[in-house]
Structure 1
């Protein structure tokens, strides 16, 4: 089976910093890919899904904190415990509002930029006219 894929927003500096932290510190077998450079069709994802939340595509598919939980569970011993805790119903119920708050305020977090606050359709891209 192919390695799972963790898809994040490569236009967002905060998201990219988090993905770089994962790449350095969390021993996951997943490929970490900005969705802007991913083959979304092959992954079964849409721009809208990726604009809303990080995505995990593997044996299971998940978004947001559920995707983070699967990434942590994939990473081995210590991280598996954290991923399992994140999937525990009371924690999971709290994780989604926290995830949405972070996603909505990521432009204010360390590494965030103004582009992080805009939906993908409103971001300036080379060659795009409004």
Structure 2
């Protein structure tokens, strides 16, 4: 059973410079009501999350323990930021925007080692990619 908390939790890959920079900028600019932790320093078992999933995508864990990944995690962060950010966050939860966001997120995640701030350490191992 996932751990419950008063705040939502955002879990990201702390070994990836692109991921770390992205999450830091999002948290600083949007100020969503949640805490942030690299998966390397998070008790994933207590959250009901596998290491493989944490390596694969950004995760958002709601106060009730529901886990959202990838583009849906981004949508939840935007919703938690409130204000003007809640509108695009809400749109990302609905088809077809949800499908498009998923495709864009997967493309960025698959090539994060080639993006600004990325390094070979940012590459998701082929064995950890779904499909």
Provide the TM-score with structure 2 as the length reference.
0.86
- Quote the offset at 1:121 in angstroms: 8.1
- Quote the offset at 1:61 in angstroms: 2.0
Gaps of 5+ in 2: none
Asked if structure 2 preserves the Cα contact closer than 8 Å seen for 1:8 and 1:53, the reply is: yes
Asked if structure 2 preserves the Cα contact closer than 8 Å seen for 1:5 and 1:56, the reply is: yes
Provide the TM-score with structure 1 as the length reference.
0.87
- Quote the offset at 1:119 in angstroms: 2.0
Structure with the larger helix share: 1
Higher CA-based Rg: 1
> Structure 2 vs 1, CA of residues 79 and 99 (structure 1 numbering), >3 Å: closer, same or farther?
same
2:22 to 18, 22, 31: 18
- Quote the offset at 1:43 in angstroms: 1.4
Number of residue-to-residue matches in the alignment: 122
Q: What is the Cα-based RMSD across aligned positions, in Å?
A: 1.8
User: Could you say what secondary structure the match of 2:32 adopts?
Assistant: coil
**Aligned equivalents of 2:28, 2:116: Cα separation in 1:** 18
**Aligned equivalents of 2:100, 2:124: Cα separation in 1:** 25
